[in-house]
A = this chain, B = another copy of it.
Amino acid sequence: MIYADAVVTNISQLVTCAGEKPKTKNDMREAGLVEKAWLAALNGRIVFMGKEKDFKANVSLTRKARVIDASGLVGLPGFIDCHTHLPFAGDRAKEFSLRLAGYTYLQLAELGLGIQTTVEATRAIPAPELEDICLKRLETMLLNGATTIEAKSGYGLNREDELKQLRVLKNLARRQPVSIVPTFMGAHEIPPEFKSDHSSYIKLLKEELMPEIKASNLAEFFDIFCEPTVFNLDETRELAIQAIKLGYKLKIHTDEFVPIGGTELAVELGARSVEHLLNITPAGIEKLAGSRTAAILLPGVSFFLMTDKKAPARELIDCGTIVALASDFNPGSSNLFSMLFVLQLGVFTLKMTIEEALNACTINAAYALDRQDEAGSIEPGKSFDLILCDLPSYLHLAYELGKNPIKTVIKQGKVVVEQGCIKE
Binding site for B on A (CB under 8 A): 91-94, 96-97, 100-101, 140, 143-144, 300, 303-304, 306, 308, 327, 334-338, 340-342, 347-349, 351-354, 392-393, 395-396, 398-404, 419-421
Contact of A403 among B91, B144, B419 (CB under 8 A): B144
Query: Please, how many angstroms separate the alpha-carbon atoms of A306 and B44 in the complex?
Result: 40
Check B353 against A300 for contact (C-beta < 8 Å).
no
Q: Are A91 and B402 in contact (CB under 8 A)?
A: no
Contact: A144 with B402, CB < 8 Å? yes
Apart from A91-B396, A306-B348, list 19 A-B contacts with CB within 8 A.
A91-B399, A93-B392, A93-B393, A96-B399, A97-B353, A97-B399, A100-B351, A100-B353, A100-B354, A140-B403, A144-B402, A300-B402, A306-B349, A335-B401, A336-B402, A337-B402, A338-B402, A341-B401, A420-B420
Closest Cβ of chain B to A118, distance in Å, is 14
Number of copies: 2
Measured in the bound complex, the distance between the Cα atoms of B161 and A279 in whole Å is 52
- Measured CB to CB, the closest approach of chain B to A185, in angstroms, equals 22
From residue A122, how far is it (CB to closest CB) to chain B in Å?
A: 17
Chain B residues within an 8 Å CB radius of A337: 400-403
- Are B402 and A341 in touch, CB under 8 angstroms? yes
A82 CB, min distance to chain B CBs, angstroms: 16
Query: CA separation between A337 and B390, bound complex, in Å?
Result: 15
Bound-state Cα–Cα, A364 to B96, Å: 24
- A403–B336 CA distance with the chains assembled, in angstroms: 8
Interface centre among A396, A402, A421 (most CB of B within 10 A): A402
Q: A91-B392, A393-B93 are in contact. Are A101 and B402 (CB under 8 A)?
A: no
Partner of A300, one of B304, B327, B399, B401: B401
